[in-house]
Structure 1
């Protein structure tokens, strides 16, 4: 199993690097373009803040995990249409960059993001990459199906799937790792992020 994970990462290195680059660029753009994104993203921030304060959104491990894992699976499924995985990842990057740029206390805001963000961002990168690999599988499957010379449609489908299924398997492996990282991120966000932030702040007081 470990060898299959290593192979999945090695053979899909480009998708992972591309996803990381997309997230990094969107984070930077969200931060730099904060004044221009205010009218677009500020209503989203205010809506989330209101829902948290009113109790509509509970900052429990279950709620945070379910919300984040939904994003992970969206990026995987949206890989069926290549660009949509990238769009979901980019929006989340823009949003975080915008939120950090608009904060009153940059240092404390980063303290509230970095501990779990290391795992959450890694999870999002891999989730987007899994969507790109899923798209690769679909492309290979359709290409192989087009080139099939079998008289039987069923046999043609089987052959095409057999020739391209390794990419589907690798997409699922990368998705599974992304999901595990999101579980870790949720646990840290709920139980460790604030204590870590307060501890570091107290060191400088």
Structure 2
């Protein structure tokens, strides 16, 4: 089998095997997104009440001046750093989901306060690239958790007796390498999704939201 076929098989197996974890991460993101939106909504409405009166002079509440490379570096490379940092008890992986859910959810009501209909336009703006970017973010976190799981079990098998004996470094690696391989496959796939999302966000999402909102 060539690399692409092998990678596809490993990825599909990993996604199936860790489906529950990925769904839970998605659920946490969605709950935090909605909760952040509702929490910020009331305060944003009162804070930006005067700005709302000027909304006619604001052509679009969603503006993106970043290049695809800038966006990829921020989301793809930044996510990879979170992935590597997850060797520390998977904390960065969990923080990544929490931060993105809260941060993205808080933007909508602020834009709604600044520009009438801005919240709806923000959702429309998110959809084209968010399908890839948010999925990529969730998978980056899942990969980070698996990376920590591999390191934890790998070291545990060396330090603690397994069936009456401690495993050597090589034995422990052979026993647990599947989790590491799955983690690498998922982070590669997540990075590919981020690479797809970057040009969509840079060149398509804003015009698309302007066009839909203008119908």
TM-score bin, normalised by smaller chain:
0.7 to 0.9
- Please point out which of 11, 30, 46 is paired with 2:17: 11
Unaligned runs of 5+ in 2: 1-5, 45-63, 113-117
Structure 1 runs of 4+ off > 4 angstroms? 35-38
- For the 8 Å contact 2:83–2:92, the answer to whether it is kept is no
1:35 CA drift (Å): 5.7
Match of 2:49 in 1: none
Q: Distance in 2 between matches of 1:123 and 1:142?
A: 29
Output aligned runs, 1:51-90, within 5 Å: 59-80=66-87, 81-90=89-98
1:36 CA drift (Å): 8.5
- Greater fraction helix: 1
Output aligned runs, 1:131-170, within 5 Å: 131-145=144-158, 146-147=160-161, 149=165, 156-170=168-182
Unaligned runs of 5+ in 1: 39-56
Match of 1:192 in 2: 204
CA RMSD of aligned residues (A): 2.1
Change (3 A) 1:95 1:87: same
Output aligned runs, 1:20-59, within 5 Å: 20-34=26-40, 59=66
Q: Distance in 1 between matches of 2:123 and 2:194?
A: 19
Match of 1:101 in 2: 109
1:199 CA drift (Å): 2.5
Q: Distance in 1 between matches of 2:42 and 2:211?
A: 35
